[in-house]
Amino acid sequence: MPHGPWYKPLLTERNNMNKQIKKEFLPGGSRRQELLDQVPEYLKAPGLQANKHMFCIDILKMTETEYLEALNKATNGEVERSLWN
């Protein structure tokens, strides 16, 4: 098993994949918008974007549209600009 500082975040991310989200943060929940507002900061943090995408879609139950909006906010609009240029 590999060792080193780069391996620790991977373990943490895998552990987070097994957690269940509270109902109030799921679609239609009373605190859903609060969660959606925090996702862009999560997407800016170091780590593999593929893992973050899977976490957002599978665990946070975000739609692709919600994910792309959060990614656009995280990149200061670069996702949208790159689509139109």
The pLDDT tens digits of the residues spanning 30-83 come to 999 999 999 999 998 888 999 999 999 998 999 999 999 999 999 887 666 666
Residue-range domain boundaries for the chain: 30-76
Query: Tokens 């792309």 belong to which residue?
Result: 68
pLDDT digits (tens, 9 = 90+) for 1-29: 444 444 455 446 556 656 678 899 899 99
Render the burial of 36-62: b for 16+ CB within 10 Å, e for the rest: beebbeebeeeeeeeebbebbeeebbb
